[in-house]
Copies of this chain bind each other. A is one copy, B any other.
Amino acid sequence: MEQKVEVMQSIYDKNDSIAKETNEDLTRRGIFAVNVMGAPGTGKTSCIRNIIKQLPGAHYVVEGDIESDIDTENLRKIGITAVQINTHGACHLDAPVLKDSLKKLQFEKEGTLFIENIGNLVCPAEFTIGEHIKMLVVTVTDGSDKPYKYPLAFEKADIILLNKADLIPYVDFDEEFFMRGVHALNPKVNVFKVSAKAGSGFEEVTKWLIEKKKNFSV
């Protein structure tokens, strides 16, 4: 067990130093990097697509998936520069994997890089990969108890999108209980109710991102 802990610690240390390099490199190039996390099927790609429609500057996407390139192909079809990472089993992106994938992007213009992590509400939150902020996508259909059961992702998030708001009339979502859980873990985090399907709620998200980007580029 001790051997396992030592090996894990050296993996985390190596990860963090590569993440720091990536972050500095992206900052120098004027690229604001958003690590998009969330459970499977919460609509991470659809949220990214909705934000890109409104956010000024160039847009780049790295799509993390265990297998398949469905989302990358769909993004490319609508003209978005996207690169695929397939982890073939690994349950999260780490800094070395991201660094490697970024070699495929030219970043000719300043703008925003969305890194869509593996669909998993647990492991991705443990790894910094080079991002400036972490965006968590959760849904009303997954229930209001998620912050209580999966605290780390909520604790680490800089912004939370509560997606599939169009389905609120058909599910038992206790918003007050949800928000109490979120704010107990992360008192200052901004939570935006959106519907990627209806395309609603993204003006506020975009406004928030523009503000964050300003601070980053100073």
Contact = CB atoms under 8 A, between A and B. Distances in A.
Contacts of A172: 197
Most buried by B among A42, A141, A171: A141
A103 interface: no
Interface stretch (A16-24, A51-59, A148-156, A205-213): A148-156
Contacts of A131: none
Given A40-B121, A91-B122, A65 B170 contact: no
Interface string A50-84: 00000000000000011110100000000000000
Contacts of A65: 149
B70 A148 contact: yes
A194 to B, nearest CB: 15
Contact of A141 (B118, B139, B148, B151): B139
Nearest to A67: B151
A214 to B, nearest CB: 34
A146 interface: yes
B142 A40 contact: yes
A90 to B, nearest CB: 8
Contacts of A199: none
Interface stretch (A3-11, A26-34, A104-112): A3-11
